[in-house]
Structure 1
Amino acid sequence: MTADAKPLSGLRVLVPRGGTWGDMVAKALREQGASPVIAPLVDFAHTSEEDKLIAALKALEAGEFQWITATSSTVVDVLAHHNAVIPPTTQVAVVGEATEAAFKDAGYPVSRTPNDDNNTTEGLLEVWPEIDTGEVLRVLTLRSDVAKPVLTQGLINRGHDVTQVVAFRTVGVPVSVHTREDVESGRINALLVASPKIAREVAQQFPDIPEDTIVACVGPFTHGEAVSAGLRHNPDHADSSVKRALIETVESAIDQSDMLD
């Protein structure tokens, strides 16, 4: 490697999500010399609780909630889709770097986030002083259909008045024929697998991955799901410095909490 070469030079990396998440990951990959190809394998569909969601958003706009929580940047898209506005009297608590960025980009101040050393839903509960004063708070929690209601349950266990709504569903999205051909031919030579749902989509949509293609799973849970789904990993890549650099680049740009479905 020359003095000015970067660790991911020569890699065309499939980035499996779009939006704020995809933009942040793609930027980090470019900085390390990779060529990212944003090709979402998952998208977000209307909730099965649409009536409940609409009623909750009307109550939100009316100022009935003191706090709103989110663990996905997609919540901002849901608010925009329904032309819903968070009033200035309602504070925002979020988990995840991409989630925080999306709220701030939409003009919503974020009052509470976890510390960097424990950027999880449990971590948020630990650094949220208002929920431990004894006052009963009215909180709206919005999440995906596959997210575990850890934050919701933690607030309920503390005695707060929580309205929890499944705001959207996570669904698989077929990639374009061009992208599939680029993966099967090896022109895209690295696949980023950033969540269990994405692992299942990669296994299903790309059954003929070339042996030299790097399959980079972020986190042991995602890796386990990938193996269960039948996604093949080249054993020669297990200790690859390039694969390690790819995973480290993603982890430096995005919190683990942003890699949930």
Structure 2
Amino acid sequence: MGRHSAAKAGKARVLEGARILVTRSPDRAAPLVTALREAGAEPLLLPLIDFERARDQHSLEVALDALRAGAYGWLVVSSITTVRALTEKAAERRLELKDLIPDSVRVATIGPSSRRVLEAEGIAVDLAPEDVQSAAGLVSVWPAGPASVLLPQADIADATLADGIEAKGALVQALTAYHTVDYPAAPERRLTAALAAANGWHEGKEPAAPELTPEAAKAELSGGRLHAVVAASPSAARRIHASLAPLHDCRFIAIGRSTAAEAHALGIPVAAIAKEPTPAGIVAALCTVFDTEGNES
């Protein structure tokens, strides 16, 4: 790959010269682009998925009215995109997101990124898994007993979270908060609500990273000029497979076990799974892969 000598230079710059494909839209890629650059990598963008408002806005609005009235004991937030969708609904009412959540409602989430964004919005998180940061991880720490739970989520979310919480004795109302679509989303339906600066960056500030088309990315892959691709969700794994396969020598880095499982099902070898779904966690996974390869060469 022509970069093992750089890998041997030391952990601080173990990604020096590595060209990493980030499958996020420019306005959502800034934190990871920054972290990759700080580690010495060259990030490239290939937006594959985007997000649109829920088609059934009425059901979402009724549920949020009930949430604000204290009808639920828990609000479960499974992704940053859910925060974005709820923030947009609050803004329509000229409210902040925290104004929709009474003090009596406890908030749960599945990962540190969602937690940081919620806390930056002024919302305390009462429950989140520490070891396995996924739907299954949240189910494992969910308290047994009766509870009323609102679970706004993606249209393609599987039943792991809702079924697991209900198995603990809760009554869960799961509803679609947003739709996952091929990039780009329809402009009139695209989720655009900005979130609070959670860790030193501001959403909406596009990173200075080249954006590739699928055709250009395939040419880079065929030429051996892409060293890794990062997938943040099972849907991203499916789109990577459909748009780019075969990946040749490009390493597939999965964010989360569900993404890795989907890649395996598609026949994509997984080089590493990020232990945390954060820019630092992704960079750490990449460093583990390239440092190991550098030491072996």
Give the one of 213, 219, 224 matched to 2:264: 224
Q: Distance in 2 between matches of 1:126 and 1:32?
A: 34
Residue of structure 2 equivalent to 1:191: 229
- Counterpart amino acid of residue 239 in structure 2: E
Q: CA 1:55/1:32 → structure 2, altered by over 3 Å: closer, same or farther?
A: same
Residue of structure 1 equivalent to 2:52: 45
- Counterpart amino acid of residue 160 in structure 2: V
Verify: 1:179 aligned to 2:212, yes or no.
yes
Q: Distance in 1 between matches of 2:263 and 2:171?
A: 37
After superposition, give the CA deviation of every residue in 1:104-132 in whole Å (9 maximum; x if it has no partner).
Answer: 2222111100122x323233233234xx3
Give the one of 112, 117, 133 matched to 1:102: 117
Q: Distance in 2 between matches of 1:163 and 1:45?
A: 21
Indicate if the aligned counterparts of 1:152 and 1:164 stay in contact, CA closer than 8 A. Answer: yes
- Counterpart amino acid of residue 198 in structure 1: A
Residue of structure 2 equivalent to 1:140: 150
Residue of structure 1 equivalent to 2:133: 119
Indicate if the aligned counterparts of 2:238 and 2:263 stay in contact, CA closer than 8 A. Answer: no
After superposition, give the CA deviation of every residue in 1:48-78 in whole Å (9 maximum; x if it has no partner).
Answer: 4322111001111222222100211111111
Q: CA 1:252/1:14 → structure 2, altered by over 3 Å: closer, same or farther?
A: same
User: Structure 1 stretch 96-105 or stretch 107-116: which is displaced more?
Assistant: 96-105
Aligned pair count reads 232
Verify: 1:202 aligned to 2:240, yes or no.
yes
Q: Distance in 2 between matches of 1:99 and 1:183?
A: 30
Q: Distance in 2 between matches of 1:162 and 1:208?
A: 40
* C-alpha displacement of 1:137: 2.1
5+ unaligned residues in a row in structure 1: which ranges?
239-243, 257-261
Work out the percentage of aligned pairs sharing the same amino acid. Answer: 29
After superposition, give the CA deviation of every residue in 1:130-181 in whole Å (9 maximum; x if it has no partner).
Answer: xx3x4x3221111112212222223323333322212111111159x95126
- Counterpart amino acid of residue 155 in structure 2: D
Q: CA 1:151/1:207 → structure 2, altered by over 3 Å: closer, same or farther?
A: closer
Q: Secondary structure at the match of 2:212?
A: helix
Q: CA 1:33/1:151 → structure 2, altered by over 3 Å: closer, same or farther?
A: same
5+ unaligned residues in a row in structure 2: which ranges?
91-96, 186-209, 283-297
* C-alpha displacement of 1:195: 3.1
